[in-house]
Protein backbone atom coordinates (compact mmCIF):
# COMPACT_ATOMS: atom_id res chain seq x y z
CA UNK A 1 0.00 0.00 0.00
CA UNK A 2 2.83 2.44 0.73
CA UNK A 3 3.91 2.49 -2.91
CA UNK A 4 0.61 4.08 -3.94
CA UNK A 5 0.71 6.87 -1.34
CA UNK A 6 -0.21 9.68 -1.23
CA UNK A 7 -3.77 8.67 -2.11
CA UNK A 8 -6.20 11.51 -2.89
CA UNK A 9 -9.99 11.24 -2.75
CA UNK A 10 -11.54 14.15 -4.66
CA UNK A 11 -15.19 15.08 -5.06
CA UNK A 12 -16.77 12.93 -7.78
CA UNK A 13 -17.79 14.40 -11.14
CA UNK A 14 -21.54 13.99 -10.65
CA UNK A 15 -21.31 15.87 -7.34
CA UNK A 16 -19.39 18.72 -9.02
CA UNK A 17 -22.05 18.89 -11.74
CA UNK A 18 -24.88 18.98 -9.18
CA UNK A 19 -23.05 21.72 -7.28
CA UNK A 20 -22.55 23.74 -10.48
CA UNK A 21 -26.28 23.51 -11.27
CA UNK A 22 -27.17 24.53 -7.71
CA UNK A 23 -24.73 27.47 -7.89
CA UNK A 24 -26.29 28.63 -11.16
CA UNK A 25 -29.81 28.44 -9.72
CA UNK A 26 -28.76 30.27 -6.56
CA UNK A 27 -27.01 32.94 -8.63
CA UNK A 28 -30.11 33.39 -10.78
CA UNK A 29 -32.30 33.77 -7.69
CA UNK A 30 -29.82 36.16 -6.10
CA UNK A 31 -29.52 38.11 -9.35
CA UNK A 32 -33.28 38.60 -9.39
CA UNK A 33 -33.11 40.30 -5.99
CA UNK A 34 -30.00 42.32 -6.81
CA UNK A 35 -31.38 43.66 -10.10
CA UNK A 36 -35.11 43.75 -9.48
CA UNK A 37 -35.49 45.07 -5.95
CA UNK A 38 -35.19 48.62 -4.71
CA UNK A 39 -34.86 47.75 -1.01
CA UNK A 40 -31.25 47.58 0.14
CA UNK A 41 -31.89 44.66 2.50
CA UNK A 42 -33.12 42.42 -0.33
CA UNK A 43 -30.25 43.46 -2.59
CA UNK A 44 -27.74 42.54 0.10
CA UNK A 45 -29.48 39.20 0.65
CA UNK A 46 -29.40 38.54 -3.09
CA UNK A 47 -25.68 39.29 -3.25
CA UNK A 48 -25.11 36.97 -0.28
CA UNK A 49 -27.03 34.22 -2.09
CA UNK A 50 -24.83 34.65 -5.17
CA UNK A 51 -21.67 34.57 -3.04
CA UNK A 52 -22.83 31.46 -1.17
CA UNK A 53 -23.50 29.60 -4.42
CA UNK A 54 -20.10 30.51 -5.86
CA UNK A 55 -18.25 29.56 -2.66
CA UNK A 56 -20.08 26.21 -2.54
CA UNK A 57 -19.02 25.43 -6.11
CA UNK A 58 -15.41 26.42 -5.41
CA UNK A 59 -15.50 24.22 -2.30
CA UNK A 60 -16.62 21.25 -4.43
CA UNK A 61 -13.66 21.84 -6.75
CA UNK A 62 -11.09 22.20 -3.95
CA UNK A 63 -12.27 19.64 -1.36
CA UNK A 64 -10.28 16.45 -1.00
CA UNK A 65 -9.05 13.85 1.47
CA UNK A 66 -5.33 13.04 1.27
CA UNK A 67 -3.76 9.91 2.74
CA UNK A 68 -0.03 10.39 3.22
CA UNK A 69 2.44 7.90 4.65
CA UNK A 70 1.73 8.86 8.24
CA UNK A 71 -1.15 11.38 8.20
CA UNK A 72 -4.60 12.04 6.77
CA UNK A 73 -5.40 15.57 5.62
CA UNK A 74 -8.86 17.01 5.00
CA UNK A 75 -8.81 20.06 2.71
CA UNK A 76 -11.69 22.38 1.83
CA UNK A 77 -12.35 26.09 1.53
CA UNK A 78 -13.26 26.44 5.19
CA UNK A 79 -10.84 24.01 6.85
CA UNK A 80 -7.51 22.29 6.57
CA UNK A 81 -7.06 19.57 9.16
CA UNK A 82 -4.39 16.95 9.59
CA UNK A 83 -4.41 13.84 11.77
CA UNK A 84 -1.65 11.30 12.42
CA UNK A 85 -2.24 7.67 11.49
CA UNK A 86 -1.53 6.57 15.09
CA UNK A 87 -4.60 8.45 16.33
CA UNK A 88 -6.99 5.92 14.75
CA UNK A 89 -7.94 2.31 15.43
CA UNK A 90 -10.28 1.48 12.56
CA UNK A 91 -12.74 2.81 9.99
CA UNK A 92 -16.41 2.03 9.36
CA UNK A 93 -19.29 3.25 7.22
CA UNK A 94 -22.19 4.73 9.15
CA UNK A 95 -25.12 6.26 7.28
CA UNK A 96 -23.14 6.55 4.06
CA UNK A 97 -20.28 8.42 5.74
CA UNK A 98 -16.82 7.06 6.52
CA UNK A 99 -16.11 7.31 10.25
CA UNK A 100 -12.70 6.79 11.84
CA UNK A 101 -12.53 5.50 15.41
CA UNK A 102 -9.98 7.43 17.46
CA UNK A 103 -7.83 5.70 20.06
CA UNK A 104 -8.99 8.22 22.69
CA UNK A 105 -12.60 7.11 22.18
CA UNK A 106 -13.92 9.76 19.82
CA UNK A 107 -14.91 9.57 16.16
CA UNK A 108 -13.88 11.52 13.08
CA UNK A 109 -16.42 11.64 10.27
CA UNK A 110 -14.80 12.20 6.89
CA UNK A 111 -16.60 14.57 4.52
CA UNK A 112 -18.57 12.91 1.74
CA UNK A 113 -16.91 12.83 -1.66
CA UNK A 114 -19.71 11.31 -3.73
CA UNK A 115 -17.59 8.19 -4.20
CA UNK A 116 -18.47 4.71 -2.97
CA UNK A 117 -18.22 5.04 0.83
CA UNK A 118 -17.38 1.36 1.30
CA UNK A 119 -14.47 1.62 -1.14
CA UNK A 120 -13.13 4.71 0.64
CA UNK A 121 -13.54 2.95 3.99
CA UNK A 122 -11.61 -0.10 2.79
CA UNK A 123 -8.67 2.01 1.59
CA UNK A 124 -8.61 4.11 4.77
CA UNK A 125 -8.90 1.04 7.04
CA UNK A 126 -6.03 -0.68 5.20
CA UNK A 127 -4.00 2.54 5.58
CA UNK A 128 -4.69 2.62 9.35
CA UNK A 129 -3.75 -1.05 9.81
CA UNK A 130 -0.55 -0.79 7.77
CA UNK A 131 1.13 1.21 10.55
Of 117, 116, 114, nearest to 100 (Cα)? 117
In this predicted model, what pLDDT tens digit does every residue of 113-127 receive, in sequence order?
888 889 999 999 999
User: What pLDDT sits at residue 114?
Assistant: 86
In this predicted model, what pLDDT tens digit does every residue of 75-92 receive, in sequence order?
999 889 999 999 999 999
The pLDDT confidence band at residue 98, using thresholds 50, 70 and 90, is: very high
User: What pLDDT sits at residue 36?
Assistant: 87
Q: What would the mean pLDDT of 54-60 be, rounded to a whole number?
A: 94
User: What's the Cα-to-Cα distance from 21 to each of 10, 16, 37, 104, 125, rounded to whole Å?
Assistant: 19, 9, 24, 41, 34
Amino acid sequence: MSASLPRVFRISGWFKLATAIAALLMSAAGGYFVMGESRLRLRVMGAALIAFGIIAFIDALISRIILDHDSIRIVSVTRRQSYRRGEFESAKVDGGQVCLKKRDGGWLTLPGTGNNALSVRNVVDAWIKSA
